[in-house]
Amino acid sequence: MPEPDTGPVPAPVPAPAPVPAPAPVGVPPAGGTVADAPPADFVPVDEAAPLGVEPTPTGHPAVDAALARLEALDGVPADAHVPVYEDVHQRLVDTLAALDRD
Global model pTM greater than 0.75: no
Reduced to 3 states, what is the DSSP secondary structure of residue 58?
A: coil
Q: What is the pLDDT along the chain (102 residues), one digit of tens a residue?
A: 566 666 676 677 677 777 666 555 555 556 656 555 666 666 565 566 666 777 789 999 999 999 888 888 887 888 888 998 999 999 999 999 998 887
Q: How far is it, in rounded angstroms, from Cα 86 to Cα 14?
A: 48
Local structure of residue 69 (DSSP, 8 states): G
